[in-house]
């Protein structure tokens, strides 16, 4: 939860340090060149992203954090347990898998329109602890340059910020790349 | 062992172990059969082959001592076969000890082998020498106790010069006569490795071969087979779709026919114009449509045939995979004849074990779980139940006692009986002991029925026999039996007539995997209700429902039955229906009051393949397991007992259902409230009386689950709980409570028979405030602890 804020503080401290420094022409040139670069920061190890649609928004998860994508499987509510986050159990290829709600986890708005034929289930997590969740549509897999992942702007809403690992530009659209581990941890919290 | 690590990554020792395992079983059962029925040459034959195969396998891995042992055993069988040396019981003892040694190798790790060989070679050589010597004289059939002899003194004379039976005759069915020749301590493990497979082929032909499959693989196969069945059934929808295609095609034909008529009319009206080309192309369209018609019809037919076959196949596959979970009862008890024989000889008793229902099919999980409790009951019968021959003679019983082990299916349950015709249990001595141990006071004890007294025998540490014998003593009581039975939600009863014998009757579910259930809809969602727990399904009109003292009731066979909406119990919103009839599941009965659960509708009866709940969910109130319906929809199976308990709780609380009014902790008057949870009625009563006498208000629950529900429904200041309980243990209960804010700080005392440090730690780590043992009833440590935690009663 605190990670994006920390990073911000760190880069703030670095900036102050930089300002305290006496400037040489070389350093000035370097600094301006630096400043002119796009604000790509961390090198990440993303090899492929699975893109999916939730309402009007496109989101992505690293392909390696997902176990499988299947046709939509309606969850069965668990008496005394089901909540807006823990939707129930669903049948994923003959196995019963716990089903969570990504919309609730990320605080996304619920669409007014009916779900379409396009909706799918994505399964995340290890075999013995996997979770299924519904997405409105699966858009495919995109290979992206590692340096193309930007730190999420601080403006990303708090509720969702904890689960976003970075922003990637695909075409003209800014796509939030979710962090598989954090999403999984968020789902797990539904059991507590 | 330098050449271990043989083919395909399996070490040669592993191969030897596998081979030894099957041969050891054959040797044991063969020896026991032979002892009963000596002179049956057909029985000796397989024994010779088994010993011979082990010898060959042992030689390959260079286990010389085993080679020599197996060889000598083979010689004994040979001598028995030729009639030179019939197998007397003492000889059988020796041979069985040989089998035991072979069995020991099976449990050895490769690294331990050299040390084991060194340590055991003396013992093995002694046995070999004894086997080579003439058999010891047989004692009188039912005489004085014959202790299982310690390693027998070596026969006179150096081992090599001990009389060796005549040169072994070539044995039919064995590959190379050369191998029969007693080998000098086999040189290293080099003889052609190809001999093993050859020899393996000469094993006695079995009617069915068995393979080992990991149970989770089997489960996964079961799920996949089920899913394949579901998918196959979906093809039926595709057949309907092809019907639509056919109908559309017929529509097209009709349209073309109409078009043709119109063209004809037009032709007649404008005679002479060039219509031949139109005619021609129309004809072509019609021909094409005709061919399309044929193709579609054929496709539909073939598709239907294929899909029906696939559906059949998947169903068969599913049934077979399901069946693979079942094993014959006989398979699980194969070790018992030997055990009975050995222990009976040791005790100097003459006992026959009779087994009925060896072919009865039992779920492999249950079969496996049965081993420990059956062992215990049989040992008990041998040790305490069965008398010596002399004693039996004085009571005019046949000198040989009988222990009967029987399995059968009865009304959907697996019934297992262990019966002996021994001395039985004296109910009065149990009654005395119950009082002596201060488990109940004298007045209460006097009122206990015989059946109730027998229940005490299942309590941990309760034994009526004064002397703790080596065999069944060891502090392990019949509670082993009880806990296994409760774990699979079965029952066990003990009937005994003093002087005549005892009988244990275990009733267990035939399988834990398939459940016959009624499918019902509750709050718009499907649920399964075990048919065995369903008393009745009633369809009643609204007019039949009448409120009595705030409770809704209806009449069923002259009895009034309360109705509660199932959806509310399960925490769902009830769908607003204005239907005139209500579907009511009537549950309970026998000991419980009947109770009606109003559901949306009752759909059908189905066999459900039940699966345990995801462990991440922990215990879910009112839910026993999950399942996937034939159409692929997941559903939950209701734990009717648990539901019934909640209903009773809510009714006795006086809180009307639907209102869910609960007493709040603050506005309460009267003494402090304590909940006692223990599955033993005795312990419960002792604790209740103890605490009540001090002035506390005490309520009780019979296991963790009921305790949990009781706590949620009422308000308590303290929980006193046992650890080992069916359905939900004390540890599970405490963990479940600590997860809820309401119970985060509830003081909890564990009172358990377990007094090991790790048990204490586990209890305290789960969140217990204190851990006491049951001896705390004797002194006032329980009361002191209670006062420490919650203060005086009022």
Q: Is the CB of A91 less than 8 angstroms away from the CB of B570?
A: no
Q: Are residues B547 and B684 in the same domain?
A: no
B572–A contact, CB cutoff 8 A: yes
DSSP assignment of B417-482? EEEE-S----HHHHHHHHHHTTSS-HHHHHH--HHHHHHHTTSTT----SS--TTTTTT--THHHH
CATH classification of the domain holding B105 = 1.20.120.160
More confident residue, B187 or B698: B698
Residue B161: how many CB atoms within 10 A of its CB? 8
Q: Across the interface, do B227 and A98 touch by the CB < 8 Å criterion? A: no
- What residues does each domain of chain A span? 3-36, 49-191
In whole angstroms, what is the distance from residue B755 CA to residue B778 CA?
16
Does residue B154 surpass a pLDDT of 70?
no
Look at A178 and B108; give whichever has higher pLDDT. A178
> Are B264 and B157 in the same domain?
no
Q: How much is the pLDDT for B380?
A: 84
Chain A positions touching B565 (Cβ under 8 A) are: none
For B638, the closest chain A residue by CA position comes to A79
Range B488-517 average pLDDT: 83
DSSP state of A76: B
Decide if B133 is inside a domain: yes
Residue B789 near residue B747 (C-beta atoms within 8 A): yes
pLDDT attached to residue B186? 39
**Subunit contact A76:B634, Cβ cutoff 8 A:** yes
d(CA B91, CA B86): 9
Question: Which of B523-532, B585-594, B612-621, B674-683 shows the lowest per-residue confidence on average (mean pLDDT)?
Answer: B585-594
Mutate to test the interface with B, among A80, A83, A92, A94 (most CBs of B within 10 A): A94
> Which of B397, B408, B420, B417 is CA-nearest to residue B343?
B420
Contact at CB, B632 and A91, closer than 8 angstroms: yes
Cα separations in angstroms, B472 against B97, B393, B460, B468, B745? 22, 25, 14, 8, 43
Say what the alpha-carbon torsion angle B473, B478, B481, B485 is, to the nearest 10 degrees: -170
Q: Flag whether B663 is in a domain.
A: no
Which of B614, B627, B636, B739 is the best substitution to test chain A (most A C-beta atoms within 10 A)?
B614
Q: How far is B627 from chain A (nearest CA, A)?
A: 8
Find, among A41, A54, A191, the residue nearest to A120 by Cα. Answer: A54
B218 vs A: CB within 8 A: no
- Of B619, B652, B685, which residue constitutes the final position of a domain? B652
Question: Is there a single domain that holds both residue B412 and residue B501?
Answer: yes
Whether ipTM > 0.90 holds is no
Q: Nearest CB to B614: which of A73, A74, A96?
A: A96
Of B223, B525, B623, the CB nearest to A94: B223
pLDDT of residue B356: 92
Indicate if the pLDDT at residue B721 is higher than 90: yes
Alpha-carbon span B753 to A191, nearest angstrom: 33
Pair B457, B464: CB distance under 8 Å? yes
Between the CA atoms of B339, B340, B341 and B342, what dihedral angle is there, to the nearest 10 degrees?
50
- Domain-terminating residue out of B200, B223, B239: B200
A14 token code pair = 């670095």
In a domain, B195, yes or no: yes
CA distance A8 to B544: 70
**A79·B628 Cβ contact <8 A:** no
* Dihedral angle, C-alpha B750, B751, B754, B758, nearest 10 °: 20
Lowest mean pLDDT: which of A174-178, B75-79, B465-469, B666-670?
Answer: B465-469
Residue ranges in B37-63 assigned as alpha helix (H): 41-60
Alpha-carbon distance values, B532 to B25, B525, B588 (Å): 39, 21, 11
User: B30 and B173 share a domain?
Assistant: yes
Q: Are B457 and B492 in contact (CB under 8 A)?
A: no
Instruction: Report percent pLDDT > 90 for chain B.
Output: 9
* Count of the separate structural domains present in chain B: 5
The answer on B680 and B573 residing in a single domain is: no
Average pLDDT, chain B: 77
Minimal C-alpha gap between A149 and chain B (Å): 34
Just give the CATH number of A49-191.
2.40.50.180
How high is the pLDDT of residue B421?
A: 92
Same-domain status, B307 and B369? no
Residues B716 and B637 in one domain: no
Question: Do B487 and B728 touch, CB atoms closer than 8 A?
Answer: no
What integer is the mean pLDDT of B374-394?
A: 87
d(CA B268, CA B270): 6
Q: Are residues B137 and B17 in the same domain?
A: yes
Of B572, B614, B623, the CB nearest to A98: B614
Compute the Cα dihedral for B595, B598, B599, B601 and give only its sign.
positive
- Check pLDDT > 70 for residue B664: no
Residue B416, in any domain of the structure? yes
The pLDDT, as a whole number, for residue B137 is 64
Average pLDDT value for residue range B164-184 = 40
For residue B180, what pLDDT band results from cuts at 50, 70 and 90?
A: very low
Nearest to B626 among A80, A81, A96 (CB): A96
- Mean local confidence (pLDDT), B154-174: 40
pLDDT band with cut points at 50, 70 and 90 for residue B147? very low
Closest Cα in chain A to B572: A79
Do both B504 and B525 map to the same domain? no
B496 and B538 housed in the same domain: no
Please give, rounded to a whole number of angstroms, the shortest distance from the CA of B632 to a CA of chain A.
7
Whether chain A has a CB inside 8 Å of the CB on B708: the answer is: no
**A74 vs B525: CB contact, 8 Å cut-off?**
no
Contact A78 B611 (CB under 8 A): no
| Tens-digit pLDDT string for chain A (192 aa) | 444 444 444 455 554 454 455 556 676 566 566 555 554 444 445 468 899 999 888 999 998 889 889 989 999 999 988 888 999 999 988 889 999 999 999 988 877 777 678 899 999 998 888 999 999 999 988 888 767 777 776 655 556 778 888 888 888 888 889 999 999 999 998 887
Residue at which a domain ends, from B200, B224, B246: B200
Torsion (CA) B411, B414, B418, B421 in degrees, nearest 10: 20
**B664 located within any domain:** no
Listed in sequence order, the residues at least 6 apart from B597 whose beta carbon sits closer than 8 Å to its beta carbon are: B563, B564, B565, B566, B569, B584, B585, B586, B587, B643
Interface touch A79/B526, C-beta < 8 Å: no
pLDDT value at B205 more than 70: no
Please answer yes or no on whether A94 and B623 come within 8 Å at the CB atom. no
Q: What is the pLDDT of residue B694?
A: 85
Most confident segment among A42-56, B378-392, B657-671, B769-783: B378-392
CATH code at position B772: 3.40.50.2300
Smallest CA-to-CA distance from A129 within A78, A65, A178, A71 is with: A65
Structure tokens belonging to residue B789: 């935690």
Residues B179 and B227 in one domain: no
Domain-located, residue B205: no
Shared domain for B632 and B488, answered yes or no, is no
- Host domain of residue B606: 514-652
């Amino acid at each position: 939860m605190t990670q994006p804020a920390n990073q911000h503080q760190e880069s703030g401290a670095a900036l102050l340090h930089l300002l305290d420094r006496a400037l040489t022409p070389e350093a000035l040139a370097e600094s301006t060149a630096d400043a002119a670069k796009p604000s790509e920061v961390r090198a990440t190890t993303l090899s492929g992203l699975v893109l999916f649609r939730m309402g009007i928004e496109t989101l992505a998860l690293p392909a390696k954090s997902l176990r499988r994508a299947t046709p939509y499987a309606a969850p069965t509510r668990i008496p005394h347990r089901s909540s807006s986050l823990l939707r129930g159990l669903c049948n994923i290829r003959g196995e019963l898998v716990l089903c969570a709600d990504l919309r609730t986890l990320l605080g996304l708005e619920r669409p007014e329109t009916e779900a379409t034929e396009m909706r799918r289930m994505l399964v995340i997590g290890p075999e013995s602890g996997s979770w299924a969740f519904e997405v409105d549509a699966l858009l495919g897999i995109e290979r992206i340059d590692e340096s193309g992942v930007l730190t999420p702007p601080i403006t990303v809403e708090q509720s969702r910020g904890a689960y976003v690992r970075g922003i990637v530009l695909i075409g003209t659209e800014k796509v939030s790349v979710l962090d598989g581990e954090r999403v999984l941890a968020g789902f797990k919290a539904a059991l507590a | 062992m330098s050449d271990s690590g043989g083919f395909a990554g399996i070490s040669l020792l592993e191969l030897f172990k596998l081979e030894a395992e099957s041969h050891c079983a054959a040797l044991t059962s063969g020896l026991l059969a032979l002892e009963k029925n000596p002179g049956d040459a057909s029985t000796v034959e397989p024994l010779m082959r088994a010993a011979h195969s082990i010898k060959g396998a042992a030689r390959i891995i260079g286990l010389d001592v085993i080679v020599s042992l197996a060889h000598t055993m083979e010689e004994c069988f040979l001598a028995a076969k030729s009639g030179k040396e019939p197998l007397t019981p003492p000889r059988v003892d020796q041979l069985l000890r040989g089998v035991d040694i072979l069995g020991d190798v099976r449990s050895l790790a490769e690294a331990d082998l050299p040390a084991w060989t060194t340590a055991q070679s003396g013992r093995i050589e002694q046995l070999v020498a004894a086997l080579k010597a003439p058999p010891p004289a047989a004692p009188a059939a039912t005489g004085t106790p014959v202790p299982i002899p310690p390693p027998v003194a070596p026969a006179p004379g150096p081992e090599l010069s001990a009389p060796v039976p005549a040169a072994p005759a070539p044995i039919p069915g064995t590959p190379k006569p050369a191998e029969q020749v007693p080998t000098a301590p086999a040189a290293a493990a080099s003889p052609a490795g190809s001999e093993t497979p050859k020899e393996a082929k000469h094993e006695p032909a079995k009617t069915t071969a068995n393979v080992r499959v990991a149970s989770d693989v089997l489960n996964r196969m079961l799920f996949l087979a089920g899913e394949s069945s579901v998918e196959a059934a979906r093809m039926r929808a595709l057949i309907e779709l092809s019907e639509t295609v056919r109908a559309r095609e017929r529509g097209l034909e009709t349209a073309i026919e109409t078009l043709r008529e119109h063209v004809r009319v037009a032709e007649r009206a404008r005679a002479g114009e060039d219509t031949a080309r139109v005619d021609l192309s129309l004809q072509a369209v019609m021909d094409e449509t005709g061919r399309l018609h044929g193709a579609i019809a054929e496709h539909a037919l073939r598709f239907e045939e294929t899909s029906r076959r696939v559906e059949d196949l998947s169903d068969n596959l599913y049934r077979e995979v399901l069946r693979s979970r079942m094993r014959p009862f006989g398979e699980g008890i194969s070790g018992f004849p030997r055990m009975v024989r050995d222990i009976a000889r040791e005790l100097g008793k003459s006992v026959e074990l009779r087994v009925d229902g060896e072919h009865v099919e039992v779920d492999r999980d249950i079969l496996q779980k049965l081993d420990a409790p059956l062992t215990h009951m049989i040992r008990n019968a041998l040790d305490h139940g069965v008398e010596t021959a002399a004693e039996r003679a004085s009571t005019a019983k046949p000198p040989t006692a009988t222990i009967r082990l029987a399995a059968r299916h009865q009304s959907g349950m697996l019934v297992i009986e262990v019966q002996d015709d021994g001395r039985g249990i004296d109910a009065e001595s149990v009654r005395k002991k119950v009082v002596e141990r201060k488990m109940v006071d004298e007045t209460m004890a006097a009122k206990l029925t015989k059946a109730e007294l027998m229940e005490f025998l299942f309590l941990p540490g309760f034994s009526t026999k004064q002397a703790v014998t080596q065999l069944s003593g060891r502090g392990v009581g019949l509670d082993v039996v009880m806990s296994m039975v409760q774990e699979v939600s079965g029952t066990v009863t003990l009937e005994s007539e003093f002087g005549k014998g005892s009988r244990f009757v275990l009733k267990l579910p035939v399988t834990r995997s398939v459940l016959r259930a009624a499918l019902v809809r509750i709050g718009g969602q499907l649920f399964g209700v075990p048919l065995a727990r369903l008393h009745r399904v009633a369809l009643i009109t609204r007019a039949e429902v009448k409120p009595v003292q705030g409770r809704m009731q209806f009449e069923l066979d002259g009895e009034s039955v309360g109705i509660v909406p199932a959806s509310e119990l399960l925490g769902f919103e009830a769908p607003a229906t204005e239907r005139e009839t209500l579907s009511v599941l009537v549950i309970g009965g026998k000991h419980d009051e009947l109770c009606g659960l109003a559901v949306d509708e009752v759909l059908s009866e189905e066999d459900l393949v039940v699966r345990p709940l995801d462990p991440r969910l922990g215990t879910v109130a009112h839910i026993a397991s999950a399942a996937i319906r034939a159409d692929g929809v997941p559903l939950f199976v209701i734990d009717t007992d648990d539901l019934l308990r909640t209903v009773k709780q809510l009714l006795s609380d006086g809180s009307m259902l639907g209102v869910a009014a609960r007493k709040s902790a603050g506005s309460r008057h009267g003494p402090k409230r304590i909940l006692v949870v223990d599955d033993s009625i005795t312990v419960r009563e002792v604790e209740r009386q103890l605490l009540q006498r001090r002035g506390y208000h005490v309520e009780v629950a019979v296991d963790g689950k009921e305790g949990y529900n009781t706590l949620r429904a009422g308000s308590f200041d303290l929980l006193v709980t046992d650890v080992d309980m069916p359905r939900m243990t004390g540890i599970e209960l405490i963990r479940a409570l600590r997860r809820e804010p309401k119970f985060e700080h509830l003081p909890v005392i564990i009172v358990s028979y377990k007094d090991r440090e790790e048990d204490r730690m586990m209890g305290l780590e789960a969140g217990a405030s204190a851990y006491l043992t049951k001896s705390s009833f004797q002194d006032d440590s329980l009361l002191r602890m209670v006062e420490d935690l919650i203060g005086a009663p009022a």
